[in-house]
Structures are given as C-alpha cells and as structure tokens.
Amino acid sequence: MHLSEHNKNLFITFLSGTAAPFPHIYDAVSEQLLLLILKARQLNEDPEYSKWFAEQHQVLTMLQAQSEKISKIYPQNSLVLNFQEPKQDSLMDALIFMHQIYTGFDEGKVSLKTWGEMNRQPAEQGFRYAEQNKLREEFIHDDMFAILTEGPTHCPPIPPQARKGYCHQDLSIAHSCSSMLLSRLNNFHKIDSLPILADAIYNLITALRHARIAVPDCLSEFEKVHRDIMGGERRESYVLKNIIKLINDEGRDKFIERIAEQCGPQHADYLFSQFVGIYASEIIQWFAELQIYFKYVQSTPFDWKFTTVAADTRALSEEEEQKPTVAWESDYCQISIKRDTLLKLIQTNALHDAADSLADCLLRIYGQPAEVMFREKGAAPPISDTERQVYNFNSYHLYSTLQGNYQKSIGIVQSFEKWHENNKALLISHKKTRIERIDVQVRLAGLRCYDLKMGIPDGNRLKVKDGVYDLVKHDTSLRFENSISDISLQRYHSQVKKIINKDIDGLLLSQRKNNSKSPFSGAHHAIKPLWSKSEILEEE
C-alpha cells in the first residue's frame, strides 16, 4: 500500500519545507499585537492619557534599573536543563512589582493607593521565607515608594470605555517595549523545519524500537545513528545532528520524495503527524515567549467532581423504581459540575475544552481498569480504591500540560487561524470591487516610521532629514523581499497614522462584532485576542 495522491502531496509539500503547515498563524498573531500597539499609540496621542504612559514608562525604566536588587529577592531557579545559568530579565523583574500597580489601575486605583495596599500586605509565614519577606518589604517601603514619588504619580487610570477591552499592563508594555515585542514577533521566522523533520524521524524510530517493530528499509540509515537522547538540549544532540546530515547528504527534496514512495502509509502518517505536531508546539512556544510580559488572565475555572459508585444491590420500593434518578443499576461513574460554572463555560466558548480536560482526567483514573477489562475479554475488574476516591479540579495528580501532546497543540494553532480568517480587521483593505490582504511588513514599516518621528517611547523625535527612512530600511526585523523606496515608506507611515488617529476604534469594534458570530475559544491554552482582558462598558 502507498499514500493516497492527496496525502502524498501534503507529505512532500510540508516535509520538504516547500510550504508551512500553518500558513496564517503569523498574520493572526501579528494582527493582535499590532492592534494593541496602535491602540496604545492612539491613547498616547490624547493629552488626557499621554501623561499616564510617560509616568508608567518612567517607573518601569527605574524598576528595570533595580533588576539586580529584585533578583536577589526573587532568585531565578538555576536548576534548569543543561545546568545553564538563567538569563537576567530586567523587564520580568520589574513586572514582579509593576503587575500589582497595573492591576490596581484596572480596578480604578492610582499607583500610590496600590502601593499603600502592597505596603500593608501580610508577609508569607514561615521561617523559610523570612529573609525574602524582609527584603521584599524593604524594597516596597523604600525603593518602590521613592520610584513612584519621583514622578507626578497623580495620573488616574484610563477608563474602560477608552481602553476598549485592553488592560493597563498590556497597553503600557506596548508603549514602552514595542521594539522588544516586535523582535520577538520576528522570531517566528527562526522556526526551522529541518530540525523539526529530524525530530520527527527520531520519534518514529524510537516508537518502532519500543514497539519492537522493524524499522523500514527506507529509514535504515537513520536507525544506525539512532541513540537514546539523555537529557540536555535535544536539538543540540549529536543524534539529531547526524540525522540532519544524512538528510542533507541525500538532498532534502529527494529524500522526502523517496520516503513518500517507499514508506508504508502507517509509518508515513506517523512521521507526518509528528512533524506537524512538533511544528505546532514550536509555534506555541514562540507565542508564549511573545506574550510573557502581558497580563495573564485566568480562564473560567472548571469546578467539577467525580467518583465511582458501586451498584445499589438493595431491593427498591415501587415508588423508588418509578422515580427518575441519575443512578444506574450497575457500577457507575458519578460526575457533578456546578451549574454557574457550566453557564460561564458556555458564555466563554470553553465548554468543549472543559469536557476535553475532564476526559483526560477520567482516562488517568480509568485507563488501567480498562486495560484489565481488555485482557479479560470484556470482564470488568472490581472497583479499586483509586476509583472510589472523589476527584476534583484541584487533584494534584490530574494536572496536565501540553508538553508532548501534539494533537492539542495542532488544535490550538488551527483554531486561532480559523478565528483570524473569520475576524481579521487590520490586515485587509476594502476596495470598491474586492477585499485585498495587506502584508504584515507594510504595517510594521509604517509603525516604525511613526515611532521614530514621534519619539516613542523616550521622546527623541526624528525628522525625515534625520534619516528616518534609512533607519527603517536597515531594520533587520522587517522582511521585504525587494528594496523599498522612500515614497512607499511615506505611504505606509501615512496609513498607520490614519489608523491611529481615525480608524483604530472602528477596527476593534468591527472585530468584536464579527467575533459575536464566530467567537474565539475560551479554552485554557487557547490563543485569544488581546482586547478580551478587560470589560468593555459601552459599544458605539
């Protein structure tokens, strides 16, 4: 048997690197980041809010300068893979304290009021944290107060109706750190499909070995270099480097075409699913690193319990037999979910994810007796003590992550791609006769021109004669295929300026209206629009 013509074409197209398996995710994430930055620019243009942005930029900068002191209060865990020293992250250090200030703004409080609450917070009990608590209290009482009072510190929060669903933390980071954010956005293009292919081949051979199935002849050369990778940085292992060398020696296109012809469909399908799954997991890792400085919003908690109930063997009265009940005549699993939780999960489009999470937990508990039942040819084993326990959403041994679960990673990426296709706003242009797609790089170039001319975030404004366009042309984060003219950059800048001054609120309103028809997923791990973190009090 061989792959169908359709599957063969997909196999060759993706695994050869001719095309990527998720063609729209970069645009989808880019649009959300650009909408946030452009909204921050619009608010900063308003004299009523520009002082707030300047104040937070000053506080954030001064806290970053105290990074070394903060890192002594909250030392990063050095017990990481490869025993590498964790890199100092001054922004993350600053956000340890700024996060509460931003949350206070979301709640309608000025920064000094939030500081007062931070200063009165009871320290965590226990001898183990005594020194850390002392350093933290001293920093809040002395350093934090000095930083906050060096500026005006009288700026009120930006009202919800002006923020249009964005939170203060994200707006402030978009104002002060857009260059860093856009650099991380550009890291998407560093995702390399060749190491991903090597990873997928390694997984296939490992799976065949564990199952004691012979490796097909078309992959025999790879079996010779296969060794178990023992810890460390997987991509840096000599095993994967040897696999990559074998692919390059034959030629990637030639190798993939040969595998498509010679490999059985079962092995080819496994290799394909591994490749796409690893690719999806790298996209999710890229996205996680991009939004790590934004406010984390807790998803709707899934409050549920389940346990195994033995069949009631007592004789039932006639009245009991006629009365409707959720019980069964044989052993059963009883699941209960809070009604208000169920309604919230439906409202936030997270019900399917909650059911999926519950299914994973049920599998953890009932997987072993299901295997016994299979071996006993259908005879269910007695209820175990493990099954008799009552489990809930806080049960420690039911915690799960996305690590290694490639199917869920694929679903997350595809779900947000689909949402973007139904709800895109910034990256399309409505012409009289057609709708045109706008390249992300066009908006990025226009934004770069705007920021240089406006001096964002530090106030160092430049004019065209100062070489603004030359700076943009030499920006390595921009990825234009051909050289770009000053006239084009001037046009891109004018477009972005118009969006900031006139269009941004209309674009956000349009996306939210479309979202009501094709809502984003409220699932815990789902990628969500950044304007969904704060209540929107009024729509136009």
Averaged pLDDT for residues 69-96: 75
- Helix or strand run (H / E) with residue 9: helix 5-15
Question: What tokens appear for 98 in the block?
Answer: 């700024």
- For all residues of the chain together, what is the average pLDDT? 89
pLDDT band at 78 (very low <50, low <70, confident <90, very high): very low
Taking 80 as the threshold, does the pLDDT of residue 84 lie above it? Answer: no
Name the β-bridge partners of 306. 335, 391
- Note the pLDDT of residue 500: 98
Distances from the Cα of 215 to the Cα of 221, 223, 278, 469, angstroms:
10, 7, 21, 57
- Note the pLDDT of residue 417: 98
pTM for this prediction:
0.88
pLDDT tens per residue across span 451-507: 999 999 988 999 999 999 999 999 988 998 888 999 999 999 999 999 999 999 999
- Secondary structure percentages of the chain, helix, strand, coil, to 5: 65, 5, 35
Averaged pLDDT for residues 25-42: 98
Question: What tokens appear for 403 in the block?
Answer: 């690590």
Domain ranges of the chain: 5-23+190-292, 24-75+88-121+133-163, 302-310+330-393, 424-517
Distances from the Cα of 519 to the Cα of 70, 269, 346, angstroms:
40, 32, 11
What are the backbone dihedrals phi and psi of residue 131, each rounded to the nearest 5 degrees, phi first?
-65, -40
Ordered DSSP codes for 84-153: PPPPP-HHHHHHHHHHHHHHHHHTT--HHHHHHHHHHPPPPPSGGGHHHHHHHHHIIIIIIHHHHHHS--
126 burial type by CB count under 10 A (0-12 exposed, 13-18 middle, 19+ buried): exposed
Name the β-bridge partners of 307. 334
Taking 70 as the threshold, does the pLDDT of residue 320 lie above it? Answer: no
Name the β-bridge partners of 333. 308
Ordered DSSP codes for 313-359: -SPPPHHHHHS--S--SS-EEEEEE-HHHHHHHHHTT-HHHHHHHHH
Question: What's the maximum distance between 2 C-alpha atoms anywhere in the chain?
Answer: 94
pLDDT winner (highest mean) among 135-144, 159-168, 202-211, 473-482: 159-168
pLDDT band at 237 (very low <50, low <70, confident <90, very high): confident
- Note the pLDDT of residue 79: 40
Taking 90 as the threshold, does the pLDDT of residue 539 lie above it? Answer: no
Taking 70 as the threshold, does the pLDDT of residue 403 lie above it? Answer: no
**Ramachandran category for residue 126: left, alpha or beta (phi over 0 → left; psi -120 to 50 → alpha):** left
- Note the pLDDT of residue 402: 47
Task: Residue 454: name the closest of 133, 158, 53, 91 by CA.
Answer: 53
- Note the pLDDT of residue 188: 97
Task: Residue 18: name the closest of 260, 215, 240 by CA.
Answer: 260
Alpha-carbon distance of 515 to 236, in angstroms, equals 42
pLDDT band at 436 (very low <50, low <70, confident <90, very high): confident
pLDDT tens per residue across span 338-361: 898 899 889 888 888 888 888 888
Please answer whether residues 308 and 333 qualify as being in contact, where contact means their C-beta atoms are separated by less than 8 angstroms.
yes
Residue identified by tokens 């899934």 is: 302
| Gyration radius of the chain over CA positions | 28
Q: What is the dihedral of CA 361, 367, 370, 372, to 10 degrees?
A: -150
Task: Return the amino acid letter for 403.
Answer: Q
pLDDT band at 83 (very low <50, low <70, confident <90, very high): very low
Alpha-carbon distance of 419 to 73, in angstroms, equals 42
- Note the pLDDT of residue 540: 46
Taking 70 as the threshold, does the pLDDT of residue 426 lie above it? Answer: yes
